Amino acid sequence: MSVHKIAVIAGDGIGPEVIEEGVKVLEAVARIAGGFSFEFTHFPWGCEYYLEHGTMMPEDGLEQLQKFDAVYLGAVGYPGVPDHISLRELLLKIRKQFDQYVNVRPVRLLQGAPCPLKDVTRDQIDMVVIRENSEGEYSGAGDWLFRGKPEEVVLQTGVFSRKGTERIIRYAYELARKMGKSLTSISKANALNYSMVFWDQVFEEVGREYPDVETKSYLVDAASMYFVKQPERFQIVVTSNLFGDIITDLGAAIAGGMGLAAGANLNPERIYPSMFEPIHGSAPDIAHKGIANPLAAIWSASQILDFFGHEGWGANVLDVIEQVMVDKKALTPDMGGTATTVDVGTEVVALLSTIH
């Protein structure tokens, strides 16, 4: 019996509400599947913790997390604590220190999911976006000179190391090969004459080792247009930190909205724990009402199952999410229903039990 040890940082606002349902689903899967189990340890870190202790997590927080196989994160951020503190001192710290350089965001239109594009069918939106998660435009390098003076100058430097660029592109090629899908690189070499010319060059160089993988390369502005007009062009997508940030929100919008979108922050070498999260925030406007949609958190639970090698069960969870949206019996208000967060989780568990 293998035991997967998971650190749960439910966080703020609706974070704990949706994560509880995700945990419920993972426990149900382990019970039904047999052969493996989960051990959850809860860490009360986040903004409330900050208001009490003056830090988002204890000083040895990362050491405590290091012992786990994965981190399951709800959302952090709440009015009263500046966003740059909550984001930088918890989320970004974990991503950076644990070298979670791959951000995996499935963009897949499930049956029954709301889609703002007209005349688009399910099979036309089915991609996986691989976003560089450790450097690039978000490296934090730069300077702020003559602050407040008329000659004020700010510099924000993109950092693209050979190691960092190669490893993300290689990860994407491997995934494309494994899944038998095409790989599209999104860049902007016409305007970013160092970083993106380099990116394109590395994409081509690494590609020589993968002659079996069909490749495409788009400028980010054109890619944004195709995401909306012809999303079927994309299967596996690899892109930089900033472009990935923007394009995955666009992806979430065309594939069911924030109530569904999940993301994984992976350290593929598994030296450090990887982190799984719904990508929405703490939604203070609906917190503590029991009406948050837990499906994104449950989708991220299915990514946890994939990560631990239980891909069959990961797929089953997605099938059940799909069924919940088709049945429309247990949907939260954001999806036009009247169900509570707990109702949705309970329905998912009930449907999973019928699979066996």
Residue 252 Cβ vs ligand NAI, minimum distance, rounded to whole Å: 10
Fill in the amino acid letter for 265: N
**What is the spatial distance between Cα 320 and Cα 299, in angstroms, rounded to a whole number?**
10
**What is the spatial distance between Cα 308 and Cα 349, in angstroms, rounded to a whole number?**
20
- Taking CB positions, which residue lies at the least distance from Mg ion? 245
Residue 245 Cβ vs Mg ion, minimum distance, rounded to whole Å: 5
Considering the complex, state which of residue 62 and residue 258 has its C-beta at the smaller distance from ligand NAI. Answer: 258
Residue 80 Cβ vs ligand NAI, minimum distance, rounded to whole Å: 10
Residue 345 Cβ vs ligand NAI, minimum distance, rounded to whole Å: 12
Coil, helix or strand for 7?
strand
Chosen from Mg ion, ligand NAI, none, partner binding at 285 (C-beta under 5 to 8 Å by type): ligand NAI
Q: Tell me if 294 sits within 8 A of 10, measured CB to CB.
A: no
Query: From residue 345, how far is each of 7, 293, 323 by CA, in Å?
Result: 20, 9, 13
Fill in the amino acid letter for 3: V
Name the E strands within the chain: 2-11, 36-42, 70-75, 102-108, 126-132, 136-145, 153-159, 183-187, 215-219, 236-239, 262-266, 274-278
Q: Kindly list the strands in the beta sheet with 102-108, ordered across the sheet, starting from the edge strand earlier in the chain.
A: 36-42, 2-11, 70-75, 274-278, 262-266, 102-108, 126-132, 236-239, 183-187, 215-219
Query: From residue 16, how far is each of 30, 150, 169, 284, 304 by CA, in Å?
Result: 21, 47, 34, 12, 17
Chosen from ligand NAI, Mg ion, none, partner binding at 171 (C-beta under 5 to 8 Å by type): none
Considering the complex, state which of residue 18 and residue 305 has its C-beta at the smaller distance from ligand NAI. Answer: 18
Could you write out the three-class secondary structure of 10-42? EECCCHHHHHHHHHHHHHHHHHHHCCEEEEEEE
Considering the complex, state which of residue 33 and residue 253 has its C-beta at the smaller distance from ligand NAI. Answer: 253
Positions that interact with Mg ion (CB under 5 A): 245
Chosen from ligand NAI, Mg ion, none, partner binding at 257 (C-beta under 5 to 8 Å by type): none
Considering the complex, state which of residue 185 and residue 293 has its C-beta at the smaller distance from ligand NAI. Answer: 293
Positions that interact with ligand NAI (CB under 6 A): 14, 18, 75-78, 83, 91, 258-259, 277, 280-286, 292-293, 296, 334
Considering the complex, state which of residue 202 and residue 297 has its C-beta at the smaller distance from ligand NAI. Answer: 297
Residue 200 Cβ vs Mg ion, minimum distance, rounded to whole Å: 24
Chosen from ligand NAI, Mg ion, none, partner binding at 258 (C-beta under 5 to 8 Å by type): ligand NAI
Considering the complex, state which of residue 237 and residue 296 has its C-beta at the smaller distance from ligand NAI. Answer: 296
Residue 187 Cβ vs ligand NAI, minimum distance, rounded to whole Å: 25
Chosen from Mg ion, ligand NAI, none, partner binding at 137 (C-beta under 5 to 8 Å by type): none
Residue 241 Cβ vs ligand NAI, minimum distance, rounded to whole Å: 15
Considering the complex, state which of residue 192 and residue 253 has its C-beta at the smaller distance from ligand NAI. Answer: 253
